[in-house]
Amino acid sequence: MAVEIQTIREQRSLGKAILNGLLCRCPNCGKGKVFSGYLKVADSCSNCGTKLSSARADDFPPYIAIFIVGHALVGWMLHAEMSGPVDPMFYVWTMIPLAIVLPLAMLPSIKGGVIGLQWANFMYGFDPDRADTSRSDV
C-alpha cells in the first residue's frame, strides 16, 4: 500500500489577498506593486520578493469589467427612459464615452484582484509544490 505524503501549506487569507490585489498591491505583503505598467504584471514584488510573473488572469478581468459597466449603464439608460423622453444624442455624448472609459479605469484593479485570488488559492505558478507552469510570452 502506497503512502501519500501531503505537505502542509501555510494558510493564505483570501479576502486580504483580493483586497491587496484590488489596490494593485502585492497579494502577499500588500506593499509592493503588482504591475510594472498599466496591465503588465511585475516579475516579483519589490518589497517581499513574491514571484508574480506566473499569474494568468487572461480574459477574466475584462469580462468582469464589462459585466459591471454594462449593468450600470443599462440601469442608467432605463432610468433615463422612464423619467421622460430622452434625446438620442444624450446616449452618444454620455453612454459611449462611459462605456469606453469605465472598463479601462476598472481593469487594473480587477486584474489585481484576480491575481490575489490566484495567489491565495495556490493557483498556477503560485503553488510552491508544483513545477513552474508559467508560460513564456512568444
What predicted TM-score, i.e. pTM, was given to this entire model? 0.83
Query: What is the b/e burial string over 22-32, where b = at least 16 CB atoms within 10 angstroms of the residue's CB?
Result: beebbbbebeb
Per-residue pLDDT band at 136 (split at 50, 70, 90): low
Q: Mind listing the pLDDT tens digit for each residue in 74-102?
A: 999 999 999 988 899 998 999 999 999 99
In a domain, 115, yes or no: yes
Q: Mind listing the pLDDT tens digit for each residue in 12-50?
A: 899 999 999 999 999 999 999 999 999 999 999 999 999
In a domain, 7, yes or no: no
- Rounded CA-CA distance 112/135 in Å is 19
In a domain, 48, yes or no: yes
Number of domains in the chain: 1
